[in-house]
Chain A
Amino acid sequence: MGLADHFPALIIVVMFISAFLSPLLYRWAEKVSSYFVTASLLTAFVFSVALLVQVQQSGPVLYYMGGWPPPWGIELRADPLRVYILIVVISVSLWIFLYALRDLKHELKKTVIGWYYSLYSILVGSMAGIALTNDLFNLFVLMEICAISACAIISIKEDRECLEASFKYLILSAMGTGCFLLGVAMLYMATGYLNYSFIQVELAEAIIHYPLNIFTAAALFIAAFGTKAALFPLHVWLPDAHASAPTPSSAMLSGLVIKIYAFALFLMFYQVFPKTMLDTIPLNEIILWMAALGTMFGSIYAMIQTDLKKMLAYSSIGQISYIFMGIGFHHDLALVGGFYHIMVHAVTKALLFMTAGVIIYSTGVRKISDLAGIGRVLPLAMLAFTIGSASMIGIPGTGGLISKWYLALSALEIGRPFFVLVILASSLLNAIYYMPIVINAFMHQEDFQHDVRTVPLFMQVSLLVGMVFIIISGFFSRPVVSLLEQAASLLF
């Protein structure tokens, strides 16, 4: 077996190696440590692109950890959808890390930065694992790793607010994991397997004998992943956690971590539960309504915030609901829209948090009302914020429109124009809280009286990358969309 056969495992392993070595390296040579993490992320990125090529050429890749075949061994599975998520996770992490290199020095104590690198690598590794694994218990372990490292990159700032927020997150996240474990136990009891594919086959039979067990498991899964992905009304932990964390952590958490759980729930629906089950129980319907409420309430809560990062955090609740809507419509076009939104929102929200970070770094301003006139001193950052807002609203020419287009189209396709109205109304709400910030920033230019630090080149470049990507995703969405369409056609 050559190197190419081990890509699925290597991606995760590379990140974990990076997690072990980076704090050690940091003690000797800070620079080398950051280069090392960057190099690991790059390697993982190259591997995942290579994996995509493999999957495109020869269909889904199955990988047995340690050579043990399922159902006993752990299986990794790379199909187009999973690899797509993998690439989004790794490339966005790489981009955020480049930004973090400068930002962390400002936000954290020098001694903990090495640990931050380590936690960051673990987080990326665990997310890659969640995307790839085909085994429920392995998923459970990775979810725990992911949750703990996510908590740690919040609390690493060690101020009162962060500790409180991460504690809240930890408790709710643990409850979520608990629910998940119970659900897994139910399924294991009914089928005797932990591997997704085996369970799916077995469940088609077992559902007749143990309907209650399996329905309970489904309910537990919705509660578990709903909590972790901040599906309304299980979102209570998110605003505090995402707003108080250091900027790169906020970008990671809002941009990627919540989405990976949404994806995991999707995998439960389509690769664990049998197809007949979705037709008989309105699981999708539940998700759909929760998501519809989420798009509204997330935006409404965001409107009344005075802190910029908190507003962005609430906006994430609205945006993750679009992704859940994509799952809830139970239609291939919706899936394209929802999954396209995973990418678009990952980039957009990370960009917005970065902008907030740049503003805080450069001027120390956090309150929305103090941002009036900031466009004069930080033109690039505010331009980035403008483009990010445009994508959130779904203005043509940005990626946000493409996802909304597909979602709306599928709502019509399944004959429920009501949800098109929900999508449009939530876009309007987004506009109502994003637009005034943009406008105020460019008006009242004499009002802004804070001291300004120059923004490091690295940060500026990161912002630029994000902006360019949002525009590109708005005009040249074909390659990604066709990949997603191909993936969706395998499922429906």
Chain B
Amino acid sequence: MEVVVLDNATVIAIIICIVAFPILMTPVILYSCRFSEKLRNGLSLVVSAVTFLLTLSLYPFVIGGGIVQYTLFEVLPNLEVSLRLDILSFCLAALASFVWFLCTVYSIDYMAKEHACSRYYPVLIFTLGSCQGIFFAGDLFSLFVFFELMSLIAYILVIHEETEEALKAGYKYLVMTIIGGLALFFGLIIIFELGGTVSLGVGVIIQESSLLALLAFICFLIGFGMKAGMFPLHVWLPDAHPVAPSPASALLSGIMLKTGAYGLLRVIFNVFSPELLKSSGWDIILGVLAVITILLGSAVALTQTDIKRRLAYSSISQLGYVLLGFSILNNNAITGAIFHIFSHAFMKSILFLAAGAIIWKTGKRNIADLKGIGRQMPITMGCFSIAALAMIGIPPLNGFLSKWTLALGALDANLVIYVLVLLISSLLNALYYLPIIIPAFFEMPGETNHEDHDHHEIHFNIEEATPRMLSVMVVLALCTFIFGLTPNNIVFALSRLTAAFLLLGGNL
């Protein structure tokens, strides 16, 4: 088969399209609200689909080892707005636009009951554009700009319900975002001062460790770690993610958290270097924080009674795995971390979407009320169960593969303690996911009052979500399954390539 490899100019044009198209379409969608809801929904769907397809079209170029680094214009001397495509940006961008597309499909039915949809859809699409902008940014400055843009606009998604609780959570989110943004700015300016450039295309910017460099590293850790829900900057996350509408929660937890992880990857590999981190011992900071994040997230998730809050805490712990992978810094660990970015995006999106479907259909948010819900919504709960099992790390689901690879990485680095952490956390995952799924299928609502009831009689009383919502969840569930079955799947191969690429220097 002949693969058409695109030339650089086309690739640049495509990348600009991927970022600019959703952003430019935002006013169009906003305007279309005046005419009909159908038109608005259709347009949003088309825009996210086109973005996804455009991103996919870069695949042959990327897999052929292509890298593009292109300066659009200079804002200040040596401070430019540029774009970059390498395998890492491709992975994240493809993942983001894929999940985004599915969530948009899901939104159409889910949001039909909600108010202010004429605000929701434009914001959703705009966030997509800025999120893609983060992944295709060619220098830290553009990355920072898009990062801030996305974070600030996502505020509107967080407070969509406009309840007291949502506004409070939103305020917390906003303050943390701005603190994070300022920390990033501080880091950025130190890097610029030390290295004279912030481009991601020049290889390693900071060659030797110094107090200022450490300060910059900590600033980046604060800025990006805040987004990724890293301890102790996770405080906004459990409030902000659950109050958003479920498709937005799925995106916040599934994709937008990953922008923080992506930023850290760029900082580790393109600004500093793994060698520098190891020799100066900064990887230990990351490792310790990651371990605390993993254990704390899981432990607190146990105590939550609201299903979406439990999922949000679980996100914190899962992102801890990714950070742990970053701190180990060897081939297997990085592969595992990147693969876990994919896995977690799929799993957490399902969980939030399924939880959303349940809330949408029955209005139940409290975990204690979810007994027997599996008999009412078997497909939704089935997808939820698959994702939950994947979270726990049961083969052959993708969560297992990421944990396995991470554990291998930890062993390669002789860090047996990390393997232990992974195991404990899996146990904790089981402890808080199983009590949701087991009663959902095997207990009846209001069980204790009917002592003479036959427990084993299967009594379905099906009231499912709409087919469109279900199909989204099923597609994602299939992804968790297919990409976990064997290590010979495309996502794992991509993660492996990316890890190798990054460890070989990150800019060939």
Contacts and interface: CB of A to CB of B under 8 A. Distances in A.
Contacts of B193: 409, 412-413
Given A395-B152, A417-B212, A475-B75, A427 B182 contact: yes
B215 interface: yes
A481 interface: yes
Nearest to A430: B178
Interface stretch (B56-64, B87-95, B143-151, B295-303): B143-151
Contact of A409 (B81, B189, B212, B215): B189
A413 B190 CA distance: 9
Main secondary structure of the interface of B (DSSP, over half): helix
A431 interface: yes
Contacts of B167: 439, 443
Interface string A381-423: 0000000000001111100001011001100110001001100
Main secondary structure of the interface of A (DSSP, over half): helix
Contacts of A408: 185-186, 189
A428 B178 contact: yes
B145 A397 contact: yes
Contacts of B79: 405
Contacts of B171: 436, 439
Contacts of A476: 75
A405 B76 contact: yes
Given A408-B189, A432-B175, A396 B149 contact: yes
A439 B75 CA distance: 29
B187 to A, nearest CB: 10
A135 to B, nearest CB: 36
A477 B76 contact: yes
A409 B175 contact: no
Contacts of A443: 159, 162, 167
A435 interface: yes
Nearest to A412: B193
Nearest to B183: A424
B190 A412 contact: yes
B192 interface: yes
Contacts of A421: 186
B174 interface: yes
A394 B144 CA distance: 13
Interface string B392-404: 0000000000000
Interface string B183-218: 101100110110000000000000000001001000
B74 interface: yes
B76 A481 contact: yes
A413 B193 CA distance: 7
Interface string A29-61: 000000000000000000000000000000000
A413 B167 CA distance: 41
A273 B81 CA distance: 41
Nearest to A393: B178
Interface string A437-457: 001000110000000000000
Nearest to B193: A412
B179 A397 contact: no
A394 B178 CA distance: 10
Nearest to B167: A443
A435 B170 CA distance: 11
B174 A405 contact: no
Interface string B165-179: 001001100110011
Contacts of A395: 148, 152, 181
A372 B185 CA distance: 31
Contacts of B212: 412, 417
Nearest to B177: A431
A409 B190 CA distance: 8
A477 B75 contact: yes
Contacts of A481: 76-77
A478 B149 CA distance: 22
Given A439-B174, A443-B159, A478-B76, 14 more contacts: A393-B178, A396-B144, A396-B145, A408-B185, A409-B189, A424-B186, A428-B182, A431-B174, A439-B155, A439-B159, A439-B167, A477-B75, A478-B75, A481-B76
